[in-house]
Amino acid sequence: MISAKQCPDNADTAPAGRAGEIRPKRQIARTCPECGEDFAVPSSGPGGHKQFCCEAHRQDFRKRCAARGKVLVPYVMAWRTGRPGGGQKSSPIVKQAFAEMNRILDQFAEEDRKAGRPKLVDYVGGLMATGFTYMDRRRR
């Protein structure tokens, strides 16, 4: 169910049409990746890009991602750049980095579960569906 209290900026009606006619706005249901609550955004126009039910949740999500990224990046880079090519064996450091990276990710997933946050599969799916990826932003 779409919670109006989660998204108070979304009006229930569009501007008047012919002769003062009021039309309902077409809306899309979204789920906030921070709290898991459903909220509505306009299908077009201002606000249609929103991914979070409120600004506070967007900021909390971004801060947590930044803090977690700082922890993970060294392990991910060691694993990614230390992998050999051409059938060579991986070094013990690369294997340890991969194992530690997965332990850290498991810990983050457990923290999210205990806090009642939804899994990020839907959020990432929404990002990928836009066709505008991180690498696209880097090319600007």
Task: With 0.75 as the threshold, say if the pTM is over it.
Answer: no
On the 0-12 / 13-18 / 19+ scale of CB atoms within 10 A, 73 is exposed
What is the predicted pLDDT for the residue at 18?
A: 57
38: part of which helix (H) or strand (E)? strand 38-42
pLDDT in tens, 5-25: 444 444 444 444 555 555 556
How is residue 27 annotated by DSSP? E
